[in-house]
Amino acid sequence: MRADFIFDSLKNRHNQFVELVAQCPEDKRNLIPKGFKNSIHWHLGHVLTVSEFHVFGLSEFALNKKLPASYQDFFAYGTKPADWQGEPPAWDVLIDQLRKQPDEIRELLVDKLDVPVIENFLKAETFGELIISTVMHATDHIGFVSAMLKALK
């Protein structure tokens, strides 16, 4: 029951985020509204990249990363579109990866929620806590994107 709650929370939050960013018109995906530091395209890639980083990069499962290392250059903490070297991954690719990610995480960690993880800046002690931190992170970005969509109208 607890595992279902944690994994379903991750999937629901990712789906909610995907539905929200899908409301952004194609011609506004890379605009940065006044008062913001990043575009909605950046937020999309950031939620995907940081979700993987939280769950796998902060644990001994780092070898299970599915995203190319270049995603860190575009979407890691502290990055911004003004610093991008080249074209970021395509919007539709990011959407597809974000939709698949919760199931991939569930498949790898379904019986490992209570397994301890390495010391990390999130202060998470288990995989379950890393996943919950990912849910909270995506929730923050739902708020940012909601505000950005209003500003872009």
pLDDT in tens, 66-118: 899 999 999 999 999 999 999 999 999 999 999 999 999 999 899 999 999 98
Domain CATH number, residue 143: 1.20.120.450
Could you tell me if 10 and 105 are in contact, meaning their C-beta atoms sit under 8 angstroms apart?
A: yes
114-121 LR contacts (CB < 8 Å, sep 24+): 117/58, 117/59, 117/60, 118/58, 118/59, 118/60, 120/58, 121/58
Average per-residue pLDDT for the chain: 93
In percent, how much of the chain has pLDDT > 70?
97
Roughly what angle, to the nearest 10 degrees, separates helices 40-52 and 2-21? 160
One-letter-per-residue 3-state SS of the chain: CHHHHHHHHHHHHHHHHHHHHCCCCHHHCCCCCCCCCCCHHHHHHHHHHHHHHHHHHCCCCHHHCCCCCHHHHHHCCCCCHHHCCCCCCCHHHHHHHHHHHHHHHHHHHCCCCCCECCCCCCCCCEHHHHHHHHHHHHHHHHHHHHHHHHHHC
pLDDT in tens, 11-23: 999 999 999 999 9
Residue range of the domain that includes 134: 2-152
- Domains of the chain: total: 1
**pLDDT higher than 90, residue 32:** yes
Q: Taking CA 141 as the corner, what is the angle to CA 50 and CA 58, rounded to the nearest 5 degrees?
A: 20
pLDDT at 59: 77
